[in-house]
């Protein structure tokens, strides 16, 4: 999307992420209702680091330069990456977008 | 007496392989009774109407069986798998259950001194399977040969010997060493031996009281302090025909083939089997050891009837003594008002037994507060010597959980229950009252031996004994994905209970949680293979190709198993650990039967690959690994970083970083670079700024780069010391992306290149794929599987890790075996389980070559006596030709092997289907598909019967069994369904209609005679509706050709009766039985009353099908009701004679409730949505499962919209449908309010314009006025509104939740924020603001379009908000909706006229 929609609230970002996760999981992953801020990438979704690369790419497409997933995970150690939740990423995206406003 | 604590329990009982399942079954009232497997006793001995007149006739064949669970992990008990076959199965089951009971008590680690642990088991001296097989081998063969010799005196000793050896050969090899296993007390001794328990170990036999007497003995061992822990219980695995015959001769088996303890009509027992054990300790010891205590044994009592009664008629006097003794020992008074809450009775369901027991209970417990009486025999049958322990464990679980479990089939309680304080219950109840929970358990044995155990809840007990059950692995195969979908179209509990089914289309799920099962269903429905995410594997077709082991190298997450903490950065030790783990896994995988066709490795892993390929001598490797000094390894201090992008992109980016090089091309989305740490850090920082994920790895070296060259010599030297041999497996090189060369020198050269050149793992995997490798097993910890997955993303393959830092090794190997099976490989030797053969002494069938040889030998095939008689007697002649004809027919049936034809289903070939349409449409509706004509299940059955009868001319179907109905057969579009007829055994064929349906049909020359129809049950009332009203009031959707219910005669709590007039359409008469059954469901149950047949146990016919117009009496008895199913038996009679009997007719229940009935019956005048003040509608999602949703969908969407539905992505489909229905309902509601007549949902189409805005159109022609429509949905709610075109309609629904300050900032402008600050509560108001903006933006037709601040809130009241856009102001009304404990705001634009 070249002109990203203004993502305005947690729900909107969560919806975006849910859609991206669905793409990474080839559309047959968890149902929307199963993805909540508490969902963990590793234990619940069984995503591996290479899947996070794909997710990072989708985040870039959606939000442009404002959201840099690579920088986000660079600050985390392996344990923290493993324990990442969808909610952590929502917070990060919101913070990044807010920083731009 | 001193209280004794039950600290562990385990079972293997019908329907329950373990304690958890047993408790679930008990609580939910699962009927685990089934038909005897054919290898237990010869099915031809089953003669349902013979009763006691013929001692050989067994008139009942239902009972409790454990075949599906009868297996043992022999090796883990130190038993050679080969010796299992000759061992009495009950000994091995007892061993397994004993081990499980000890595990349940906290495991072996918590056991006291083994000298002070004993075992007492109840076990009878029956003809158990091992004994029966030995008897066959020793006595039967001898008898056979002797009789044969007497009948055919010409036969010589050689010939008779040949018969003897041929017959014995069919019994399998003789195992003299196993004969010792037939000594009965070994059931207890083997436990003591294998588990090393050194106290007394013995069996006791007191018939059905055995288990409780074993408990009494165990209690005594503890009280005398000879033992500190006792295993006690009972074991019974004997379904020998002799046992069935004895009970049949006594008339004790139930002629109705149902166990109905304490029912007025109880008519006998069903035989069960099983094993149960408990672990007992003195309560004081259990408290000291902090054990979990299920219950305390407060008292035990044992007595005999003495002369009081005959050996077989129980004596209440003796029973009373046993019970009173137990209560006296507990120093408790059984007549106290709150003495007990549960009495788990002996309750065999024989009239004499039940009556005597009730008399006993009335005398001992007297009147008092109501307590519950139950008998687990209603669910699992009578498990004989194990009956007492099945009851005791049930009672202990009930006491422990504080739940009173139900008893099945006690529909009309025995009149003498009224004399007692007890009542039966048919669904579980919470245990009432504040006093200590107490339960009594009875077991009374044949011959007059009685036992009673009194249990009481432990005062307070830690529930913290962590018991780790192995995860369940669900393996399901089918011929085609569609069949798999059908298997999965069951509730989770049912799916989890499915035993492994084989077929080319395979699904494996480890630990099948509801989430995983939901994922599995979606993956299978999606059609593409699913390769292991969330432990689900699915392959639509087998993955033909080679298997590779791939060995990981150093990885960041490596945690060397079992060894002390090794810092990841310590290259030498880390590398050594990686190689060792790889070798170990290689051996373990091969032991499981997973053998590679080739090996490869990643980085250092390539060395492991070389080692396992056999290129080195094993002893040289062992020597090297032992002598290897990790500290002697010197490598440069160069850093690695994993880069989340392709090697091409990395090379490009490396242009400006000369000191950093590409070291690994791992996968399309992963590469690695190596260089001086500071330079790598710079490179990584640059790439991160370009949004490329990078990770600097926690170890350093210069492997796979030219920078290692100066350090190479020592490595090269030690490698040169190894002799190289020809490997037994191809090794693939990641340096060349091709197999290793054959030449030894070339191998040594490649070894060096591997250290200096980049790892080309991506190219390697592509090359291996091109060479036919499809299965990649990662033998180590790491991420190779995801690299392979990334590389082969578009190509079907399997990549699975045999080790993981997340799980223990056994759990991970469980995943490998499941995955490999799903990919189409043989089932690995999973967990070393050996199946136990519980059949014994079933007749031996000679195989065809042996039979022919022996026939020639003994001269069979000569003229029979009948032949010579036939010349003289016409009767004999007729008899002879009849026999010949039947034999020929059967022979042709057996040689037919397989018949195939095709059934065309369409409204042309079956016009009557237009009277069997699920959904109503307008009379002149052009598309019959929207009515959904479906072949009724009973019509399917009639067709199956027709196909079966065609295979043998003149034969009639007398019985239909195991009817499976997988999916609807829709008549539009027309479909050609393959029909396959396969002979099963004499006179039986299995007919299958594609993957839609199937049944086993028994053929005969004539119909068997019938018993009497059921008497009219008591307590019947006249139904509220008449037969014809079923159809006029739309209780039933059936059209005239299926309307056969002419009179509803009577309905009761568990039955319904009707008169049918045989309709003309095939299957319609049987369908009418279903209608009568369905009427009972609708008239009786509060919800989920939409039912469709799912399964039919048995139909027996006693005559030809009646002609159309024949009056038929129909009687339906309900046998079980659960959340998902209703089961009934039924009878059809003509002129007072039974014509057809139905057993276990199972209807599946679909979502429906009082709110949806109107839409099911008159969709043209009713909506699922509810109108709300303000002119909008609210719809909640009443339906919860996919099958129910499909029905709702078809009732609302026309064909064009159904196509839209099918095209919409699976995720979101739910909401799409919810929104559609709400919009249709809003439009129809508005139209009705403005004078429209009836309107079916399909007549009002909803489309979406390109900008997403919904619009309304008429179907099939534009008959509707122009309307504006708006809809919104969230969670399981949808709202919609309709307005005249031009008014602009906008509605939104939002949940009231906490929002971030950022959201408020983005959504609201300065003036809005000023207003917002004056309002509270904030969350509610923000939601109102937001919903109002959405609604206004929708009414404008633009949507928010990413600019929420454009739609300004300029006034805010509780019930409305003004939104101003470009100086136009619109009033938006608001309200809140409470639903499911959450609050939602609905906002909708006001009518134009009111503004």
Nearest to B198 by CA among B227, B161, B236, B166: B227
Question: Is B1102 one of the catalytic residues?
Answer: no
pLDDT on residue B833: 63
Averaged pLDDT, B718-747 = 88
Over residues B436-468, the pLDDT tens digits come to 899 999 999 988 899 999 999 988 654 434 444
pLDDT on residue B465: 43
Is A89 a residue whose pLDDT tops 60?
yes
Q: How many CB atoms are closer than 10 A to CB B160?
A: 18
Question: Is B227 one of the catalytic residues?
Answer: no
* B644/A6 CB distance under 8 A: no
Least confident of B180-184, B561-565, B1209-1213: B561-565
Q: Quick one: tokens of B160?
A: 């008779």
Chain B closest-CA separation from residue A84 CA (Å): 15
- Contact list in A for residue B557 (CB cut-off 8 A) is 78
* A8/B1307 CB distance under 8 A: yes
Over residues B1163-1192, the pLDDT tens digits come to 999 999 999 998 999 999 887 777 778 889
pLDDT on residue A52: 83
Angle at the Cα of B379 (from B377 to B384), degrees rounded to 5?
Answer: 35
Instruction: For chains A and B, count residue pairs whose Cβ atoms are closer than 8 Å.
Output: 122
Most confident of B275-289, B694-708, B885-899, B974-988: B275-289
Is B599 a residue whose pLDDT tops 90?
yes
Is B1395 a residue whose pLDDT tops 70?
no
How buried is residue B827: exposed, middle or buried, by Cβ count under 10 Å (0-12/13-18/19+)?
A: middle
Is B500 a residue whose pLDDT tops 90?
no
* A101/B1305 CB distance under 8 A: yes
Torsion angle of the four alpha carbons B264, B269, B270, B273, in this order, in degrees rounded to the nearest 10: 130
pLDDT on residue B561: 36
Please give the share of chain B, as a percent, with pLDDT higher than 70. Answer: 90
CB-closest option in B688, B1299, B1348 to A70: B688
Over residues B126-176, the pLDDT tens digits come to 888 888 888 888 888 888 888 888 887 778 888 888 888 888 877 776 766
Least confident of B78-82, B98-102, B287-291: B78-82
pLDDT on residue B547: 94
Averaged pLDDT, B263-276 = 94
Q: Does the CA dihedral B771-B774-B779-B781 come out positive or negative?
A: positive
Chain B closest-CA separation from residue A65 CA (Å): 8
Q: Which of residues 666-705 of B touch A (CB under 8 A)?
A: 667, 669-670, 684, 687-695
* B669/A65 CB distance under 8 A: no
Give yes or no for A48 touching B (CB within 8 A).
yes
Averaged pLDDT, B45-58 = 70
Is B897 a residue whose pLDDT tops 80?
no
Nearest to B1345 by CA among B1252, B1247, B1279, B1208: B1252
Query: Which ranges in B271-341 belong to alpha helices (H)?
Result: 283-288, 316-329
With CA atoms as reference, the chain A residue closest to B534 would be A46
- Contact list in A for residue B1307 (CB cut-off 8 A) is 8-9
How confident is the prediction for chain B on average, in pLDDT?
86
pLDDT on residue B78: 62
Averaged pLDDT, B820-836 = 72
Q: Does the CA dihedral B905-B907-B908-B912 come out positive or negative?
A: positive
Averaged pLDDT, B1311-1338 = 90
Give yes or no for B556 touching A (CB within 8 A).
yes
* Pairwise CA distance, residues B952 & B1003, whole Å: 8
Averaged pLDDT, B43-62 = 74
* Pairwise CA distance, residues B701 & B674, whole Å: 8
Question: Is B917 one of the catalytic residues?
Answer: no
Is A67 a residue whose pLDDT tops 60?
yes
* A27/B1210 CB distance under 8 A: yes
pLDDT on residue B816: 92
Is B888 a residue whose pLDDT tops 80?
no
With CA atoms as reference, the chain A residue closest to B646 would be A53
Nearest to B779 by CA among B662, B605, B989, B942: B605
* A49/B1305 CB distance under 8 A: no
* B1306/A8 CB distance under 8 A: yes
* B519/A29 CB distance under 8 A: yes
With CA atoms as reference, the chain B residue closest to A43 would be B534
Averaged pLDDT, B999-1023 = 86
Averaged pLDDT, B765-784 = 93
Probe site for chain A from B531, B533, B680 (most A CB atoms < 10 A): B533
pLDDT on residue B894: 41
Angle at the Cα of B86 (from B82 to B88), degrees rounded to 5?
Answer: 125
Confidence of residue B177 (pLDDT cuts 50, 70, 90): low
* Pairwise CA distance, residues B858 & B159, whole Å: 8
Give yes or no for B805 touching A (CB within 8 A).
no
Peptide bond into B1260 cis (omega under 30): yes
CB-closest option in A27, A73, A101 to B693: A73
* Pairwise CA distance, residues B766 & B1368, whole Å: 63
Give yes or no for B851 touching A (CB within 8 A).
no
Give yes or no for A37 touching B (CB within 8 A).
no
CB-closest option in B1211, B1306, B1347 to A32: B1211
Question: How many helices (H) and strands (E) are present in chain B, helices listed first?
Answer: 39, 53
* A51/B687 CB distance under 8 A: no
Give yes or no for B725 touching A (CB within 8 A).
no
Give yes or no for A70 touching B (CB within 8 A).
yes
Give yes or no for B515 touching A (CB within 8 A).
yes
Is B406 a residue whose pLDDT tops 80?
yes
pLDDT on residue B718: 76
* A70/B1212 CB distance under 8 A: no
Confidence of residue B53 (pLDDT cuts 50, 70, 90): low
The side-by-side arrangement of strands in the sheet containing B670-675 is B661-667, B670-675, B639-643, B694-700
- Contact list in B for residue A34 (CB cut-off 8 A) is 515
Quote the pTM value.
Answer: 0.45
Give yes or no for B1307 touching A (CB within 8 A).
yes
Confidence of residue B232 (pLDDT cuts 50, 70, 90): very high
Give yes or no for B1346 touching A (CB within 8 A).
yes
Confidence of residue B879 (pLDDT cuts 50, 70, 90): low
Instruction: Please pick, among B60, B208, B674, B1114, the residue that the annotation labels catalytic.
Output: B208
Confidence of residue B81 (pLDDT cuts 50, 70, 90): low
Instruction: Please pick, among B236, B239, B283, B346, the residue that the annotation labels catalytic.
Output: B346
Least confident of A49-63, B315-329, B712-726, B850-864: B850-864
* A94/B1302 CB distance under 8 A: yes
Averaged pLDDT, B537-548 = 92
With CA atoms as reference, the chain B residue closest to A33 would be B1275
Averaged pLDDT, B1243-1258 = 88
Nearest to B345 by CA among B335, B353, B333: B353
CB-closest option in B670, B1307, B1346 to A5: B1346
pLDDT on residue A23: 83
Answer for the pair B271, B243: CB distance below 8 angstroms, yes or no: yes
Answer for the pair B1118, B1070: CB distance below 8 angstroms, yes or no: no
Q: Which of residues 733-792 of B touch A (CB under 8 A)?
A: 783, 785-787, 789-790
* Pairwise CA distance, residues B1027 & B632, whole Å: 94
């Amino acid at each position: 999307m070249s002109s990203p929609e203004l993502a305005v609230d947690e729900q909107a970002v969560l919806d975006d992420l849910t859609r991206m996760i669905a793409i990474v999981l080839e559309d047959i992953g968890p149902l929307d209702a199963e993805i909540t801020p508490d969902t963990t990438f590793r234990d619940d979704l069984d995503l591996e680091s290479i899947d996070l690369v794909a997710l990072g790419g989708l985040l870039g497409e959606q939000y442009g330069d404002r959201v840099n997933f690579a920088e986000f995970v660079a600050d985390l150690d392996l344990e923290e990456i493993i324990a990442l939740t969808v909610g952590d990423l929502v917070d990060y995206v919101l913070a990044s977008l807010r920083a731009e406003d | 007496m001193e209280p004794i604590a039950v600290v562990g329990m385990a079972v293997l009982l019908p329907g329950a392989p373990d304690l958890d399942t047993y408790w679930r079954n008990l609580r939910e009232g699962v009927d685990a009774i089934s038909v005897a497997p054919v290898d237990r006793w010869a099915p031809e001995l089953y003669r349902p109407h013979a009763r006691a007149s013929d001692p050989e006739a067994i008139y009942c064949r239902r009972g409790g069986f454990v075949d599906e669970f009868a297996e043992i992990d022999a090796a883990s008990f130190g038993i050679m798998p080969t010796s299992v076959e000759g061992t009495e199965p009950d000994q091995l089951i007892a061993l397994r259950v004993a081990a499980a009971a000890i595990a349940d008590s906290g495991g072996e680690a918590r056991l006291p001194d083994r000298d002070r642990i004993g075992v007492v088991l109840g076990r009878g001296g029956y003809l158990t399977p091992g004994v029966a097989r030995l008897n066959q081998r020793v006595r039967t063969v001898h008898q056979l040969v002797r009789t044969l010799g007497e009948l055919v005196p010409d036969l010589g000793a050689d010939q008779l010997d040949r018969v003897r050896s041929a017959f014995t050969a069919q019994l399998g090899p003789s195992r003299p060493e196993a004969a010792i296993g037939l000594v009965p007390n070994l059931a207890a001794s083997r436990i003591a031996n294998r588990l090393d328990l050194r106290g007394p170990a013995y069996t006791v036999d007191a018939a059905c009281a055995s288990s409780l007497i074993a408990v009494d003995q165990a209690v005594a061992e503890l009280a005398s302090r000879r033992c500190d822990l006792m295993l006690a219980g009972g074991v019974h695995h004997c379904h020998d025909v002799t046992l069935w015959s004895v009970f049949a001769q006594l008339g004790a088996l139930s002629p109705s083939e149902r166990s109905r303890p304490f029912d007025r009509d109880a008519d006998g027992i069903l035989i069960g089997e099983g094993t149960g054990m408990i672990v007992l300790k003195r309560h004081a010891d259990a408290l000291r050891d902090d054990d979990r205590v299920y219950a305390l044994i407060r008292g035990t009592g044992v007595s005999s009837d003495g002369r009081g009664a005959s050996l077989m008629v129980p004596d209440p006097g003796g029973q009373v003594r046993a019970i009173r003794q137990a209560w006296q020992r507990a120093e408790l008074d059984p007549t106290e008002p709150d003495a007990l809450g549960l009495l788990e009775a002996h309750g065999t369901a024989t009239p004499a037994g039940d009556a005597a027991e009730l008399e006993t209970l009335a005398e001992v417990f007297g009147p008092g507060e109501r307590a519950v009486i139950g008998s687990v025999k209603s669910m699992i049958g009578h498990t004989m010597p194990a009956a007492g322990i099945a009851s005791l464990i049930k009672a202990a679980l009930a006491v422990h959980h504080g739940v009173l479990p139900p008893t099945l089939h006690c529909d009309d309680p025995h009149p003498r229950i009224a004399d007692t304080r007890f009542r039966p219950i048919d669904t579980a109840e919470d245990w009432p009252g504040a006093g200590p929970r107490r339960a009594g358990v009875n077991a009374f044995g044949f011959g007059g031996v009685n036992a009673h155990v009194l249990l009481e809840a432990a005062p307070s007990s830690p529930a913290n004994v962590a018991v780790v059950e192995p995860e369940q692995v669900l393996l399901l195969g089918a011929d085609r994905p569609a069949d798999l979908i059908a298997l999965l179209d069951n509730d989770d509990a049912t799916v989890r209970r499915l035993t492994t089914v084989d077929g080319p289309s395979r699904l494996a799920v480890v630990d099948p949680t509801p989430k995983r099962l939901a994922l599995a269903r979606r993956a299978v429905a999606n059609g593409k293979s699913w390769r292991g995410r969330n432990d689900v594997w699915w392959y639509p077709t087998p993955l033909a190709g080679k298997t590779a082991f791939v060995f990981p190298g150093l990885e960041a997450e490596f945690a060397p198993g079992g060894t002390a903490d090794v810092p990841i950065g310590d290259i030498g030790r880390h590398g050594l650990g990686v190689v060792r783990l790889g070798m170990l896994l290689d051996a373990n995988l091969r032991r499981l039967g997973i053998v590679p066709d080739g090996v490869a490795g990643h980085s250092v892993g390539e060395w492991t690959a070389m080692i396992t390929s056999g290129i080195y001598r094993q002893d040289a490797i062992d020597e090297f690994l032992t002598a290897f000094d990790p500290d002697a390894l010197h490598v440069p201090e160069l850093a690695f970083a994993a880069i989340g992008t392709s090697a091409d992109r990395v090379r490009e980016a490396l242009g400006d970083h000369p000191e950093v090089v590409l070291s690994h091309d791992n996968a399309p989305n992963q590469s690695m670079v190596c260089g001086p740490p500071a330079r790598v850090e710079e490179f990584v920082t640059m790439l991160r700024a370009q949004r490329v994920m990078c990770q600097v790895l926690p170890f350093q070296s210069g492997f796979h780069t030219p920078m290692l060259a100066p350090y190479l010599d020592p490595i090269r030297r030690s490698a040169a010391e190894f002799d190289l041999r020809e490997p037994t497996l191809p090794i693939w090189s990641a340096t060349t992306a091709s197999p290793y060369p054959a030449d030894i020198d070339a191998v040594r050269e490649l070894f060096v290149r591997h250290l200096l050149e980049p790892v080309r793992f991506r190219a390697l995997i592509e090359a291996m794929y091109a060479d036919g490798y499809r299965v990649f097993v990662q033998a180590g910890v790491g991420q190779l599987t995801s690299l392979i997955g990334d590389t082969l993303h578009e190509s079907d393959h399997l990549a699975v890790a045999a080790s993981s830092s997340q799980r223990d090794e056994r759990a991970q190997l469980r995943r490998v075996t499941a995955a490999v099976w799903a990919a189409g490989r043989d089932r690995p030797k999973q967990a070393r389980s050996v199946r136990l053969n519980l059949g014994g002494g079933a007749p031996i069938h000679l195989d065809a070559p042996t039979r022919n040889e022996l026939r020639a030998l003994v001269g069979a095939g000569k003229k029979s006596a009948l032949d010579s008689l036939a010349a003289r007697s016409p009767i004999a002649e007729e008899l002879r030709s009849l026999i010949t004809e039947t034999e020929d027919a059967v022979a042709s049936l057996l040689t037919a092997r397989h018949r195939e034809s095709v059934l065309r289903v369409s409204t042309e070939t079956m016009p009557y289907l237009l009277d069997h349409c699920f959904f109503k449409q307008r009379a002149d509706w052009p598309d019959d598909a929207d009515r959904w004509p479906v072949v009724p299940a009973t019509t399917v059955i009639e067709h199956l019967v027709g196909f079966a009868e065609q295979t043998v001319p003149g034969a009639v179907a007398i019985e239909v069994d195991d009817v499976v109905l997988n999916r609807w057969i829709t008549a539009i579009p027309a479909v050609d369904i393959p029909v396959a007829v396969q002979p099963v055994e004499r006179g039986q064929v299995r007919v299958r209609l594609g993957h839609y349906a199937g049944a086993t049909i028994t053929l005969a020359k004539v119909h068997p005679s019938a018993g009497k129809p059921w008497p009219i049950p008591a307590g019947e009332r006249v139904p509220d509706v008449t037969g014809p009203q079923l159809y006029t009031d739309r209780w039933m959707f059936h059209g005239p050709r299926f309307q056969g219910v002419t009179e509803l005669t009577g309905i009761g709590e568990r039955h319904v009766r009707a008169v049918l007039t045989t309709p003309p359409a095939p299957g319609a008469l049987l369908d009418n039985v279903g209608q009568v059954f369905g009427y009972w469901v609708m008239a009786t149950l509060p919800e989920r009353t939409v039912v469709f047949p799912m399964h039919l146990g048995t139909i027996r016919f006693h005559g030809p099908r009646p002609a159309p117009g024949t009056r038929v009496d129909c009687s339906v008895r309900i046998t079980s009701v659960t959340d998902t199913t209703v089961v009934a038996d039924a009878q059809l009679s003509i002129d007072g004679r039974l014509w057809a009997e139905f057993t276990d007719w199972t209807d599946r229940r679909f979502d429906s409730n009082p709110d949806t009935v109107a839409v099911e019956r008159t969709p043209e005048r009713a909506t699922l949505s509810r109108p709300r003040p303000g002119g909008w509608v609210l719809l909640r999602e009443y339906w919860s499962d996919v099958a129910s949703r499909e029905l709702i969908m078809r009732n609302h969407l026309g064909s064009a919209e159904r196509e839209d539905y099918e095209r919409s992505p699976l995720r979101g489909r739910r909401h799409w449908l919810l929104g559609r229905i709400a919009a249709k309902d809003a439009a129809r509601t508005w139209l009705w309010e403005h004078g429209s007549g009836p309107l079916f949902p399909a007549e009002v189409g909803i489309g979406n314009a390109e900008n997403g805005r919904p619009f309304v159109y008429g179907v099939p022609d534009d008959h509707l006025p122009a309307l504006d429509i708006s809809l919104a949905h969230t969670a399981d709610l949808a709202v919609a509104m309709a307005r005249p075109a031009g008014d602009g309609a906008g509605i939104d629904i939002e949940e009231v939740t906490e929002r971030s300050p950022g959201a408020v900032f983005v959504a609201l402008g300065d003036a809005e924020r000023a207003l917002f600050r004056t309002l509270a509560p904030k969350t509610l108001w923000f939601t109102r603001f937001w919903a109002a903006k959405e609604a206004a933006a929708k009414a404008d037709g633009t949507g928010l379009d990413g600019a929420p601040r454009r739609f300004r809130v300029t006034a805010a009241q509780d019930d409305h908000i003004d939104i101003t856009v470009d100086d136009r102001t619109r009033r938006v009304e608001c309200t809140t909706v409470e639903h499911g404990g959450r609050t939602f705001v609905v906002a909708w634009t006001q009518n134009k006229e009111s503004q």
